[in-house]
């Protein structure tokens, strides 16, 4: 099977980080996940000009949270890569949206947590209208809801959503950036 058929490559290499998010080694994706090692990821919350938030239904081929609704875009930081570079790359790979790094506003830095898959997560806000070209091996589909509708839906049916999205929506900085009450 190819990367495109399985939703991710087990041969990707990520940096292993310590409790302070300092790089202490490198390992294959499969080993990092199997051993629950600390590593890095990004999440993007994309708001169109009409105030609608993009939600991504993850590919059913993904190894984590297959078929669940998640942030607009999410992904691992590759070994040697910084968070912002990873965010720009993941947005292009998953949704076909190419933006300059300055288009992404960092809104939160979440410490490593089991609900985040043992990842340190930097969250970014993207504003504006962009054409979407979904990468089918990564993303099943996208849908649009207001942040308030999304928060109410997550509260009513959390099983429909990825654990990281539920965790991040509970963070004050993310809620503030999306215009949600604290």
SS3 11: coil
Q: Which two tokens stand for residue 13?
A: 């290499």
CA 5/CA 147 separation, integer angstroms? 32
Closest CA to 165 of 82, 58, 61, 15: 58
> Is CATH 3.90.79.10 what the domain over 9-177 is classified as, yes or no?
yes
Model pLDDT, residue 5 = 41
DSSP state of 72: S
Model pLDDT, residue 59 = 87
Torsion of CA 175, 177, 178, 181, to 10 degrees: 40
Model pLDDT, residue 8 = 59
Q: Which two tokens stand for residue 152?
A: 């109410």
| Burial state string for 22-54 with b = 16 or more CB within 10 A and e = fewer than 16 | eeeeebebeebbeeebbbbbbbbbbbeeeebbb
126 and 103 in contact (C-beta within 8 Å)?
A: yes
SS3 176: helix
Q: Per residue in 19-31, pLDDT tens? A: 999 999 999 999 9
**pTM for this predicted structure:** 0.93
CB-based burial of residue 113 (10 Å sphere; 0-12 exposed, 13-18 middle, 19+ buried)? middle
Q: Where are the domains of the chain?
A: 9-177
Q: 4: pLDDT confidence band, cut at 50, 70 and 90? A: very low
Q: Per residue in 53-105, pLDDT tens? A: 999 999 888 777 889 999 999 999 999 999 999 999 999 999 999 999 999 99
Mean of the per-residue pLDDT values for the chain?
93
């Amino acid at each position: 099977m190819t990367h495109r058929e399985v939703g991710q490559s087990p041969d990707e290499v990520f940096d292993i980080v310590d409790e302070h998010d300092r790089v202490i080694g490198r390992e294959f994706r499969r080993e990092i996940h199997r051993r629950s090692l600390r590593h890095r990821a990004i999440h993007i919350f994309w708001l169109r000009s009409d105030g609608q938030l993009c939600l991504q239904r993850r590919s059913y081929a993904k190894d984590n949270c297959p078929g669940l609704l998640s942030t607009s875009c999410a992904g691992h930081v590759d070994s040697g890569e910084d968070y912002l570079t990873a965010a720009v790359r993941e947005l292009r790979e998953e949704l076909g949206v190419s933006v300059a790094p300055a288009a992404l506003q960092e809104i939160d830095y979440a410490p490593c947590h089991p609900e985040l898959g043992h990842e340190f997560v930097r969250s970014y806000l993207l504003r504006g209208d962009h054409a979407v070209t979904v990468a089918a091996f990564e993303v099943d589909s996208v849908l649009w809801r207001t942040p308030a509708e999304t928060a109410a839906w997550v509260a009513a049916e959390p099983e429909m959503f990825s654990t990281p999205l539920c965790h991040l929506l509970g963070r004050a900085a993310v809620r503030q950036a999306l215009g949600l009450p604290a």
